[in-house]
Amino acid sequence: MTTPRFKCKKCMDRLCMHKVPILSSLDIEDLKKIMGLIHHKEYNKGDTLVFVGDTMDSVVIINEGSVKAYKNTSDGREQILYVFSEGDFFGEQNLFRNQTATYTVEALQAVKTCNLSRKQFQELLYSFPEIAVKIIDELGNRMNRLENALQSIGVRNVDNRIGSILIEFAEKYGIKDEEGIIIQLPLSREGIANYLGVARETVSRKFSQMENDGLIRSLSNKEILIPDLDKIEAIAGIN
């Protein structure tokens, strides 16, 4: 595992845990108690937070930045399973039993994390059962995403899948603008291809086609504008 840099400044009194959806029901005093248990870490872009097969003893919450969780396929290709960003967490599979990491996690940019040991997180769940309910809900969402991804590979066409990922990114990273929604893409074209299980050339070709059709506009290499999200939903097969 890449050795991180440690900088604990109590999140500059910003209560990083308050940004985490699974802890949002707690009041300020409870959050302050939890802060004393947090172990803060920082990583640079490209650093590996966890390798597949590592033994994890903590739940990791993303405070700033984003990471990709991936596996390598039998033919050596990278298959991205999740993109975790601010407020997301991983390592929950080790909450109640010893289990090695089932994927590698790599920083897509500079990342700050808040870590709670398994013992500390278990005590947290016993004290605040509502957190356990939110974790179950989030894990259910992840299962749905994986099931939809597997179904997409066999049933949905590439246009549907690209439309779906743009909607996912719009929901997580989109900023409303007078011209539409601006998305700071968390992945490169190659990363998006690895997320969708298609060739990089396919993604580049489809993005170019969508831009020619006025469905998206490239503002920079990692930033796009979607003028009309309804049209993207139609491509995804949502409408």
* Token pair of 40 as six digits: 């803060």
List the domain boundaries for the chain. Answer: 10-153, 156-236
The per-residue pLDDT for 55 is 85
- CB neighbour list of residue 70: distance below 8 Å, 6 or more residues apart: 78, 79, 80, 81, 103, 104, 106, 194
- Distances in Å between the Cα of 131 and the Cα atoms of 95, 176, 230 are 13, 30, 34
pLDDT in tens, 55-82: 888 888 898 899 999 999 888 889 998 8
Vertex 232: Cα angle to 172 and 199 (nearest 5):
80
The per-residue pLDDT for 114 is 85
- Return d(Cα 199, Cα 222) in angstroms, integer: 18
pLDDT in tens, 163-183: 989 998 999 899 999 999 999
Split at pLDDT 50, 70, 90, the class of 150 is low
CB 34 within 8 A of CB 17: yes
5-14, 16-25, 56-65, 125-134 — which one is most confidently predicted on average? Answer: 56-65
Closest CA to 11 of 89, 49, 48, 64: 64
* Token pair of 223 as six digits: 């930033």
156-236 in CATH: which number?
A: 1.10.10.10
Which of the pair, 108 or 91, is modelled with greater confidence?
108
- Return d(Cα 159, Cα 222) in angstroms, integer: 20
Closest CA to 186 of 96, 131, 102, 109: 109
pLDDT in tens, 113-146: 988 887 877 777 777 777 767 777 776 676 666 6
Which of the pair, 99 or 66, is modelled with greater confidence?
66
Class of domain 10-153: mainly beta
Split at pLDDT 50, 70, 90, the class of 44 is very high
CA-CA-CA-CA dihedral for 206, 233, 144, 146, to nearest 10: 0
| Residue 193 pLDDT > 90 | yes
| Residue 47 pLDDT > 90 | yes
Average pLDDT, the chain: 81
- Return d(Cα 202, Cα 193) in angstroms, integer: 8
Which of the pair, 13 or 86, is modelled with greater confidence?
86
